Amino acid sequence: MGEGPDFYETTYSTVGTDVQTRVRNETFDEDLGQAGWLRASEAREFASWLGADVMSLLDVACGSGGISTFLATELGADVIGIDNDPHAIRATNERGHDRCSFEVADANDPLPFPEGSFDVVFSNDSVHHLRDRSAVLHDWARVLRPGGQVLFTEGLVLTGSVSNEEIQRRTFMGFFMVTPVGANERAIREAGLVLERVEDRSEAVAEVGGRMRASRERYRDELIATEGAETFEAFQGFLGVAVSLATERRLSRWVFHARKRGGRPVLAERHTEAKGARPLPSAGNRRTRAAK
């Protein structure tokens, strides 16, 4: 099976092919070259949270750079993207953008930037690949200027019962960390950041995953020619179980927005569920509470 580096090598080396472009056009509201669950409308909303005064942004685990270039344009900011996959970075450099630069770096390691380098650290649907959430967030806080912001989505928040077979199908392509409810909030606070907003965005997984799976099925033969039959079927299985787990709110996707102390005053924390979502267990039921 095409696991780990082999899977991502295939993904990033074929991101610009005609069939992958057709799949993205049928899956997302706008084709940004993205590989995760993030739609352009959601990325635009996140940019509005960050505000108009962002001048520099670090995109951690940037993949093929589509979201990086979108945020550079949307915010009018200089963006540095890092990813540990050289095939992803090659794809970003082929894309090109005059306000973006990209380099190979492992986000599990201390970031190769001095303190106070960025206004924002952003990461889309990737922190579940990082082994030590607390250490990572401490380092993100280090490279932020006072008042700087962190915004990341986490797609593997455990909010229900999940079988080992479902976990295996959901994480077939490499290393993942499944995170219990409340762990991200705790790691954010331990890093000295003030949590401003937490929202359930599981509906994106259900909608994007369902459309992507259907689109890929339409182009089955073309995709098998580039991915191989075993990887194609494994990825279809991944999409199927991701949709089921997100729809049933057993494995959920959340967005976290926090700020480093200093700069302008922080806001009260907002903790909400996605529109139409059923209540989550334990900590997930708290809709609004004051930041501490």
Mean pLDDT of 99-121: 96
Domain count across the chain: 1
Mean pLDDT of 260-274: 62
Cα distances from 110 to residues 7, 45, 146, in angstroms, run 25, 29, 19
pTM of the complete model: 0.87
Beta bridge partners of 151: 122, 257
- Predicted confidence at residue 272, as pLDDT, reads 58
Q: How many residues does the chain have?
A: 292
Residue 292 inside a domain? The answer is no
- Predicted confidence at residue 62, as pLDDT, reads 93
Residue 69 inside a domain? The answer is yes
Percent of the chain residues past pLDDT 90, beyond the cut? 75
- Predicted confidence at residue 278, as pLDDT, reads 34
In this structure, how many other beta carbons lie within 10 angstroms of the beta carbon of residue 47?
Answer: 21
- Predicted confidence at residue 273, as pLDDT, reads 54
Residue 47 inside a domain? The answer is yes
Residue range of the domain that includes 29: 4-285
Residue 290 inside a domain? The answer is no
Residue 241 inside a domain? The answer is yes
Half-sphere exposure of 229 (CA within 13 A, CB side): 0
Q: What is the CATH number of the domain that holds 175?
A: 3.40.50.150
Residue 267 inside a domain? The answer is yes
Mean pLDDT of 244-249: 98
Of 15-24, 65-74, 102-111, 228-237, the poorest mean pLDDT is in 15-24
Q: What is the mean pLDDT of the chain?
A: 88
- Predicted confidence at residue 286, as pLDDT, reads 30
